[in-house]
Structure 1
Amino acid sequence: MRSTLPTFDEVWQRQFRTSVLSQLQCFSEDTHFLIGCSGGIDSMLLLHLMSFLCPKKVRAIYVDHQLQNQSAIWGQFVQQQCDLLDIPCIIEKVNVRAGNLEQQARSVRYQAYQKQLTDTEVLVLAHHQQDQAETVILRLLSGAGVHGLSAMKAYEKRENLNLWRPFLDLSREQICQWAAELNVQNILDPSNTDIHYDRAWCREELWPFLQKRFPKMQQALSRISQLMQDADEILKEVIHTDLKACGDAHVLNLVIFCQLSEARQRQLLSMWMKGDDLYRPAFDMVERLQQEVIASKSDAQAKLHWNQYYYVRYRNQLFRIHRNEFHADQDQVAVNLELQVQLNHHLVTLSGTYQIQTAPIGLSFELLSKKLSLKLRTGGEKVHLYGRVGAWPLKKAIQEAHIFPWQRHTIQILSIDNVILGVFTPKGFWLAQSPYCETGGWQPNLLSLR
C-alpha cells in the first residue's frame, strides 16, 4: 500500500478535499466504517482509499445476491483484495424474492448491511455523480415529487443506520482514471449492462441519447438533486408545523386539517402515511385517502388499507392503525376468566394494565378474598353505571364515551355471582352500581393501554 496519497491535478485535489477529507473530519475519532463492496471499480477504489485514510477502522461487506453464476467467485475476489489491504471482510449470502428484482435486491442488501453494522459504524457506499443523475431520471419518470427527486444525500441518518457516500460529487470518469492510477483491480458484473433492468437501460440506452444533446446533463441533474434536497428540507419544516397543529403520528384532527390549503393537505398526508418507512405512498394512494375516507360521510365507517396500516375516519378524526391492532378482534379467542385481586397489585386486561388502589367510592374489600369473573362483552348487556339513573345498554355507554370501534373487542365485564361490578374499557374502569359499592373501597386504576 502506498505511504502517500496518489498525485493528481490541482482540481482533483480540491474536489477530493471537499468531497472526502472534509466530510471525514465530521465523524468522531471513535467512528468505524463498513464499506459495501460489490467488487466493481467504484467500490474497490473506495475500499483502497478508506484503507489509506482510516487504517484499522475499516471493514468490508460483500452481499452475495446469488443471482449470477459467478457471484460466489466475485465474493472470493473481494475477500482476496481485502486480505491484501488487511481489511476484515464479511460475505453475506441473501435470497432475493420474486417481483421487482432491482427493488427486492436493494431491500435484502440493506437488510444485510443493517444486520452487520455495529453501533459505532457508518455504512459507506460508492455511489457517484452519474449514479445520482440516473436516480433523478428514473424517479422523474416514475412520477416522484420533491422528496424523490432529492435522490441520494452524501450523508443520511436513518432509523437503523448512518450512511455516507463520499464519491457523490465525483464523476465516473474521474473514478476510473483514479482507479487506473492506483492499479485497482475490479470485476465486471454483466447485469450492469443488461437493459432488461431499468437502471441499466437508463445507462446504456437513454443516457447516451440525452448526453449527445445535453453534454452537461450529469452536472445539471446532480444540481437538481441538491436543489430538491433544499426544497425537501423546507417542505419538511412546513409539514412538521402542520402535523403539530393537526395531531400526531397516529391521528389527525380533520377540522384543523381541512383548514389547510389542498397542497399542504396532500403533502401532510403523504408524509404522515410514510411514517418511518423509506418511501412515501404513490400520489394516487394519497388521493384515494382524501376522496374515499376524508371526504366520506361522517357515519360511513370508511377505511383504506395501505402498507400494513388502515386509515380510518371516526367522527372528525383520521386514524392510522396497524393492521395487527385493527384485526385484533378477529384473532381473539373468547375466554372467561376467574381471578382474585389484591390491593396494590397489577391486573392485566385486554384493554390495559390496571393497579388495584383505594378509592373514595369503590368496591367492598370483602371481594379481595373472593373469586371474581372476567368476561368479554357479547352484546345486549345492560349495566347500571355508578352515578347514573337506572340501567343503560352497555353499547350506548360505549358510543357516548367515543370508544373507537376497533378497540371495543377489548371491553371486559367484571362480576361475581352474575352481579356486574364494573367494566374494563380503553377509557378506564367503569364502576357499576351494586350491593358491593361502598365509601372508601377500591377500584382498578388504568396505568397503561395495551
Structure 2
Amino acid sequence: MRSTLSTFNEVWQRESRAGILAVEESVFTQKHFLIGCSGGMDSMLLLHLFYCLFPHRIRVIYVDHQLQSQSALWGEQVNEYCTQRDIECVCVRVTVQQGNLEAEARHARYEAFQQCIQANEILVLAHHEQDQAETLLLNLFSGAGVSGLAAMKPIDWRQNLTIWRPLLDLSREKISQWVKTLNLPYINDPTNLNVYYDRAWARSVLWPVLVSRFPQMQSAVSRTTVLMQDAEDILSDILAIDLQACVIANRLDLKKYQLLSAARQRQMLSSWLKSDQLYRPSYALVQRLQQEVIQARIDAKAALFCKPFWYVRFGQYVYQLSSSEYLAKKYDRIEMKTTMQCAKNVPFQLISGMFEVQSSSKMGLSWHLLSQELVLHQRVGGEKIHLYGRVGHWPLKKAIQQAEIFPWLRHRVQILQSDDVILGVFTPHGFWLANSKFCEPNGWLPVLVQQ
C-alpha cells in the first residue's frame, strides 16, 4: 500500500495539469467521495487509489444500465471487491430511454449519481486523457462550439453536483501499466469494441489512423481542451452580463436583446435554452428560436419547444414556460357554466386564481348579492361588456388585449352574472367590475389574493 501511494503521488505531481490540486483545501480535508465504478480498468484503478488515499471517506456506486446480459454480474464483482475492503457499494439499476443510446445512457447514469450522492460528497470519475481527446473530436464532428470543445473539466462544479476527474491527464497506456503492476481485477465490456457506437469507432478505427500520422496527437488535442476551457470561462463572464441585462425572471426583453451583436445574441440564446440542462442545444435550435419566434410578426402566435420548456413570443418579450403553463388550456378543467356564492372574508378558488370578498372604498357590488346564487360562465368570444369607469360597451377581447393577459391564460377569463345582468369579469389580473344596476358606493369586490 505504501508503494502504491508513493507511485500515485509521484505520477500525480508530475503529470497532473497545474491547478488540479489547487482546489479548496476543504475538498480534501472535509469532503467524502462517491466513486463512480463501472468495473472497467480505469475505474477499478481509481477505486483502488482512493481506497489507499482516503480509506474511510469513500463510497462506490455501480450503475447497471441493463444493456448487457452480464451487467448485473459485473455489479456483483464490483460489490465483492468493495466488501472485501469494507467499502460501502451501491448498485443502481436504471432504464435507458429510447433515442441516441450513448446519450440516453449517459443521462440515466448521471441521474443515478445525483439521486445517490450525499451532501458532503464529491463524485469522482475515472475519465483519462484519451477520453478527453475523444470527447473533443466527437463534439467537433457534431458541430459543437466552444463549450463542446472545452470537453470535460478536471473539477466540474454544477448546481447540485461536483465532479472530480483526477486521472484526466493520464494516458490509457499508463493506466494499463498501473493496473498490471497492481494486479487489479477488471471487466472488459464488449461494447467498447462495437464500432456501431461513435466512441468505440473513434477508439478502434479513427485513433490508430490519427496517431500513425500525428504521434503526439492525443496530448495535443487534450491541451486544446484547456485553451477552450479558458475561452469558455471568458465567454461565461460575458454571457452572465448579457443574461442579467436581457432576461428578467422567465422572459427575454427583445429591445435589449437587439442591442447585442449577432454573435452575442446567438451565444446568449444558446445559454438561455440550455437552462439547467447538462448540454447546450444544437445550433439549429438556436436558429429556429431566432427565425420562428423572435423574428415572427408581433401579433403572431409564435412558440418553440426546447425540452423542457416552451419559448413563446408575446409583444416585445419571449417567455420561457413550462409545459403545464403553456398548455394550461389543455390541462385545465373548466365548466362552461356553473353557479357560486360569495361570502365576506371567505376565500374562493377559481381557475384564474384565489379571490376574497373585500369592502371597497369606492364603487362595488351591492351587499345584498352576497350569499345569493350567482352564475359563472367561461368566455367564449364576441362578448361586449360595459366595464365600470369606461364609456360604452367594449369587446371583452379588446380589454383582455389591452390588459396584456397572456394568450395561453385567456381561457381562464370567466364572467360573473346575476340572472342576465353581467356583474364583472374574473381574470388572471384580478376582477373587473361591470357597470350595472347592482353597482353601489362602498360595495364589495372580489380581490385577487393569489394567482
Verify same fold: TM over 0.5. Answer: yes
Question: How far did residue 66 of structure 1 move?
Answer: 2.0
Distance 1:2 1:287 in 2: 57
Question: How far did residue 239 of structure 1 move?
Answer: 2.0
SS at match of 2:5: coil
- Contact 2:334/2:351, CA 8 A, preserved across alignment: no
Spell out, residue by residue over 1:95-128, the C-alpha distance to the aligned partner (whole angstroms, 9 max, x if none): 2233321112111112222222222322211111
Distance 1:101 1:355 in 2: 53
Match of 2:248 in 1: 248
- Contact 2:8/2:49, CA 8 A, preserved across alignment: no
- Call closer, same or farther: CA 1:312–1:11 in 2, change over 3 Å: closer
Spell out, residue by residue over 1:361-397, the C-alpha distance to the aligned partner (whole angstroms, 9 max, x if none): 2333333333333321112222221111122121111
Matches within 5 A, 1:85-124: 85-124=85-124
Match of 2:184 in 1: 184
Question: How far did residue 432 of structure 1 move?
Answer: 1.8
Spell out, residue by residue over 1:214-239, the C-alpha distance to the aligned partner (whole angstroms, 9 max, x if none): 22222222222122222222222222
Distance 1:422 1:396 in 2: 15
Which consecutive unaligned segments of at least 5 residues does structure 1 have? none
Q: Which amino acid aligns with 1:33?
A: F
- Call closer, same or farther: CA 1:405–1:39 in 2, change over 3 Å: same
Match of 1:346 in 2: 347
* 100-109 vs 179-188, greater mean Cα deviation: 179-188
* 29-38 vs 1-10, greater mean Cα deviation: 1-10
- Call closer, same or farther: CA 1:186–1:46 in 2, change over 3 Å: same
- Call closer, same or farther: CA 1:158–1:373 in 2, change over 3 Å: farther
SS at match of 2:431: strand
* 25-34 vs 242-251, greater mean Cα deviation: 25-34
Q: Which amino acid aligns with 1:258?
A: Q
Distance 1:94 1:222 in 2: 31
Match of 1:432 in 2: 434
- Call closer, same or farther: CA 1:238–1:80 in 2, change over 3 Å: same
Spell out, residue by residue over 1:291-321, the C-alpha distance to the aligned partner (whole angstroms, 9 max, x if none): 2332232233333333243333222222233
SS at match of 1:360: coil
Match of 2:307 in 1: 307
Distance 2:166 2:443 in 1: 67
- Call closer, same or farther: CA 1:308–1:371 in 2, change over 3 Å: same
Spell out, residue by residue over 1:150-206, the C-alpha distance to the aligned partner (whole angstroms, 9 max, x if none): 111122233332222222222222322333333222111121122111001111111
Question: How far did residue 11 of structure 1 move?
Answer: 5.1
SS at match of 1:123: strand
SS at match of 2:178: helix
Spell out, residue by residue over 1:130-152, the C-alpha distance to the aligned partner (whole angstroms, 9 max, x if none): 11111000000100001111111
Match of 1:410 in 2: 412
- Contact 1:61/1:92, CA 8 A, preserved across alignment: yes
Matches within 5 A, 1:110-149: 110-149=110-149
Q: TM-score, normalised by structure 2?
A: 0.91
Q: Which amino acid aligns with 1:176?
A: S
- Call closer, same or farther: CA 1:11–1:123 in 2, change over 3 Å: closer
Matches within 5 A, 1:3-22: 5-7=5-7, 10=10, 12-15=12-15
Q: TM-score, normalised by structure 1?
A: 0.92
Match of 1:363 in 2: 365
- Contact 1:6/1:182, CA 8 A, preserved across alignment: no
Distance 1:339 1:364 in 2: 16
- Contact 2:345/2:356, CA 8 A, preserved across alignment: yes
Match of 1:444 in 2: 446
Distance 1:416 1:166 in 2: 73
- Contact 2:5/2:53, CA 8 A, preserved across alignment: no
- Call closer, same or farther: CA 1:356–1:221 in 2, change over 3 Å: farther
- Contact 1:411/1:424, CA 8 A, preserved across alignment: yes
Distance 1:87 1:19 in 2: 29
Q: Which amino acid aligns with 1:349?
A: L
SS at match of 2:417: strand
Distance 1:168 1:243 in 2: 32
* 432-441 vs 137-146, greater mean Cα deviation: 432-441
Question: How far did residue 78 of structure 1 move?
Answer: 0.3
Spell out, residue by residue over 1:11-67, the C-alpha distance to the aligned partner (whole angstroms, 9 max, x if none): 544446967765483427553222111001111111112222223321111111222
RMSD in angstroms over aligned alpha carbons?
Answer: 2.5
Spell out, residue by residue over 1:254-295, the C-alpha distance to the aligned partner (whole angstroms, 9 max, x if none): 222222111111111111122221222211221122223322
Distance 1:247 1:106 in 2: 30
How many positions carry a matched residue from both structures?
449
- Call closer, same or farther: CA 1:55–1:357 in 2, change over 3 Å: farther
Distance 1:173 1:355 in 2: 72
* 428-437 vs 137-146, greater mean Cα deviation: 428-437
Q: Which amino acid aligns with 1:340?
A: Q
- Call closer, same or farther: CA 1:366–1:90 in 2, change over 3 Å: same
- Contact 2:17/2:169, CA 8 A, preserved across alignment: no
- Call closer, same or farther: CA 1:396–1:201 in 2, change over 3 Å: same
* 69-78 vs 135-144, greater mean Cα deviation: 69-78
Distance 1:404 1:73 in 2: 55
SS at match of 1:406: helix
SS at match of 2:305: strand
Distance 1:344 1:122 in 2: 52
Q: Which amino acid aligns with 1:39?
A: G
